[in-house]
Amino acid sequence: MARIARTVDLRAGIELCTDSPIGRVQQALAGLGPGEAVAVLVRGYADEFTVTAWARRNGYAVIEIQREGEEARIVLAAASG
């Protein structure tokens, strides 16, 4: 399992279609070392889908998704291979 190096909390209700929230995730993913990952906290299925779809489209691996009620914790890392 990858070590969580950074956490990005997007649960504040910020519109994910703007550059800022996804930009925060992208910035957190930049420069990760081997075996490191980023945890992204979101609220709602739409935000979860937006983050995971963006990650996959941009070459990142979705390592894990943990859901609790309306919130989710998404673990992202650089795709291997």
Owning domain of residue 20: 3-78
What pLDDT shows up at residue 31? 83
pTM (2 d.p.): 0.88
Residue 81's Cβ-side half-sphere holds a number of Cα atoms within 13 Å equal to 1
Alpha helices in 1-81 (DSSP H): 19-29, 45-57
Q: Give the burial class of 69: count Cβ atoms within 10 A of its Cβ; 0-12 exposed, 13-18 middle, 19 or more buried.
A: exposed
Top pLDDT among 66 and 15 is at 66
Dist. CA 7–CA 64, nearest whole Å: 14
CATH assignment of the domain containing 19? 3.30.110.40
Span 7-53, pLDDT tens digits: 999 987 655 555 578 889 999 999 898 899 999 999 999 999 999 99
Residue entry with tokens 């990858």: 2
Q: Residue 78: what are its φ and ψ, rounded to 5°?
A: -65, 140
pLDDT of residue 20: 76
Number of domains in the chain: 1
At 55 the pLDDT is 96
